């Protein structure tokens, strides 16, 4: 398949160019597009064959449901039924934005989109290209992250090209994604909101609107296969770079010492070593590739997936990642980092 590349400036959207991509969606094609979280791989959510194409292009298990993206808040009621008042409140507070709500689905929403569930995930992205594309296409857009299943989500068009060139109809390059981690998924079908996947809208943000909101117990721990997770996506191994990642967690000075030791041991073992540091001390580690995450959790989030892909590009075999657990956006970073590390965490 020949993949068409389109470049669009998000600050000055060329509608005529974007219309070409919207037309491809309307005709049952697959279009990758930027959102403020990560790049999405979109298909017309009302076209079952198009949606099936997403699962094929990604190599995604068919029981892992997709998020339906819409442009306007009122469209929630076209996709979902029994929308509780607390869901409306959250949507009013945080949409458009990095929030996905799980609601009971309208009967017409295909079980191919929902992985056989009677609920549907809905999100209104804030990215101007994403919103305009959905508007121009005139349909709800089913879209997972635009990576091959199991790879880190794409935060730049070049990541999408790496994974999807030749597999989909069109890739829109709209520059890097600002949040860098996927949206916060909140189950709104129970008594209180439950965060199934942490993201750019934090637990603290949500509690300001609905104080009873909770974090699902699986978010910061591994799941055994015997348990049935509330979100099918939780049970799959995610964000796995080729390298073996170990998180080293604790106070900065101790973490730095530990990582230096671990680097030396791995180097002595003949391994190609990578490190994620929080501050600009790249030169002080005996490693082959040292990448900076930055001081703030938001910058850790924005750089994490791109850094994991950079290690792969450089043939890095083991990675040590500096981390310190924090509230807010730190929870989302911890969730993705622990998954990338397959829960290999050293506390110092």
Residues forming the site for ligand TXA (CB under 6 A): 35, 37-38, 40, 64-67, 100, 102, 114, 117, 119-121, 123, 125, 143-145, 182-183, 185, 196-197, 231-233
State in angstroms the smallest separation of the CB of 144 from Mg ion: 5
Using the minimum distance from each CB to ligand TXA, give the nearer residue, 123 or 131. Answer: 123
- 159 within 8 A of 39, measured Cβ to Cβ: yes
State in angstroms the smallest separation of the CB of 41 from Mg ion: 9
Of 87-95, 124-132, 139-147, 204-212: span binding Mg ion (CB under 5 A) = 139-147
CA distance 141 to 33: 11
Using the minimum distance from each CB to ligand TXA, give the nearer residue, 95 or 145. Answer: 145
State in angstroms the smallest separation of the CB of 15 from ligand TXA: 22
Q: Is 37 in the site for Mg ion (CB under 5 A)?
A: no
Using the minimum distance from each CB to ligand TXA, give the nearer residue, 55 or 320. Answer: 55
Using the minimum distance from each CB to ligand TXA, give the nearer residue, 32 or 273. Answer: 32
Residue 232, binding choice from Mg ion, ligand TXA, none, Cβ under 5 to 8 Å by partner class = ligand TXA
Residue 201, binding choice from ligand TXA, Mg ion, none, Cβ under 5 to 8 Å by partner class = none
Residue nearest to ligand TXA (CB): 233
Using the minimum distance from each CB to ligand TXA, give the nearer residue, 196 or 263. Answer: 196
Residue 133, binding choice from ligand TXA, Mg ion, none, Cβ under 5 to 8 Å by partner class = none
Taking alpha carbons only, the member of 223, 277, 283 closest to residue 255 is 277
Task: Considering only residues 145 through 164, tell me which ones interact with Mg ion, judged by CB under 5 A.
Answer: 145
Tokens representing 287 are 């490693």
Using the minimum distance from each CB to Mg ion, give the nearer residue, 145 or 178. Answer: 145
State in angstroms the smallest separation of the CB of 100 from Mg ion: 12
Residue nearest to Mg ion (CB): 145
Please give the size of the binding site for Mg ion, defined by CB under 5 A: 1
Using the minimum distance from each CB to ligand TXA, give the nearer residue, 120 or 340. Answer: 120
State in angstroms the smallest separation of the CB of 102 from ligand TXA: 5
State in angstroms the smallest separation of the CB of 277 from Mg ion: 26
Q: Assign 3-class secondary structure to the chain.
A: CCCEEEECCCCCCCHHHHHHHHHHHHCCCCEEECCCCCCEEEEECCCHHHHHHHHHHHCCCCCCCCEEECCCHHHHHHHEECCCHHHHHHHHHHCCCCEEEEEEECCCCCHHHHCCCCEEEEECCCCHHHHHHHHHHCCCEECCECCCCCCCCCCCHHHHHHHHCCCCCEEEECCCCCCCCCCEEEECCCCCCEEEECCCCCHHHHHHHCCCCEECCCCCCCCCCCCCCCCHHHHCCCCCCCCEEEEEECCHHHHHHHHHHHHHHHHHCCCCEEEEECCCCHHHCCCCEEEECCCCHHHHHHHHHHHHHHHHHCCCCEEEEEECCCCCHHHHHHHHHHHHCCCCEEEC
Binding site for Mg ion (CB under 5 A): 145
């Amino acid at each position: 398949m020949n993949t068409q590349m389109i470049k669009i400036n998000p600050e000055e959207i060329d509608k005529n160019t974007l219309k070409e991509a919207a037309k491809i969606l309307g005709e049952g094609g697959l279009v990758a597009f930027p959102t403020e979280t990560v790049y999405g791989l979109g298909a017309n959510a009302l076209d079952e064959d198009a949606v099936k194409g997403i699962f094929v292009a990604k190599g995604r298990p068919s029981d892992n449901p997709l998020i339906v993206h819409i442009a306007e808040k009122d469209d929630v009621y076209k996709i979902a039924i029994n929308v509780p008042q607390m869901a409306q409140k959250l949507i009013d507070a945080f949409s458009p934005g990095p929030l996905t709500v799980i609601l009971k689905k309208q009967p017409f929403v295909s079980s191919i989109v929902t992985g056989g569930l009677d609920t549907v995930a809905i999100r209104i992205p804030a990215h101007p290209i994403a919103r305009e594309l959905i508007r121009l296409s005139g349909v709800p857009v089913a879209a997972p992250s635009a990576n091959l299943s199991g790879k880190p989500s794409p935060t730049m068009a070049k990541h999408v090209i790496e994974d999807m060139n030749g597999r989909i109809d069109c890739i829109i390059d709209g520059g890097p994604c600002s949040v860098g981690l996927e949206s916060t998924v909140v189950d709104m079908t129970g008594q209180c909101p439950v965060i199934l996947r942490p993201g750019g809208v934090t637990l603290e943000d949500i509690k300001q609107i609905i104080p009873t909101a909770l974090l699902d117990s699986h978010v910061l721990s591994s799941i055994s296969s015997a348990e049935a997770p509330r979100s099918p996506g939780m049970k799959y191994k995610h964000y796995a770079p080729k390298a073996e990642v170990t998180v080293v967690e604790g106070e900065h000075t101790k973490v730095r010492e530990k990582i230096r030791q671990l680097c030396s041991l791995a180097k002595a073992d003949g391994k190609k070593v990578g490190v994620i540091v929080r501050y600009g001390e790249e030169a002080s580690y005996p490693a082959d590739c040292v990448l900076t995450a930055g001081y703030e959790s938001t910058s850790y989030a924005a750089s994490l997936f791109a850094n994991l892909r950079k290690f792969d590009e450089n043939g890095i075999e083991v990675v040590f990642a500096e981390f310190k657990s924090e509230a807010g956006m730190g929870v989302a970073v911890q969730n993705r980092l622990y998954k990338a590390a397959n829960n290999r965490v050293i506390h110092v």
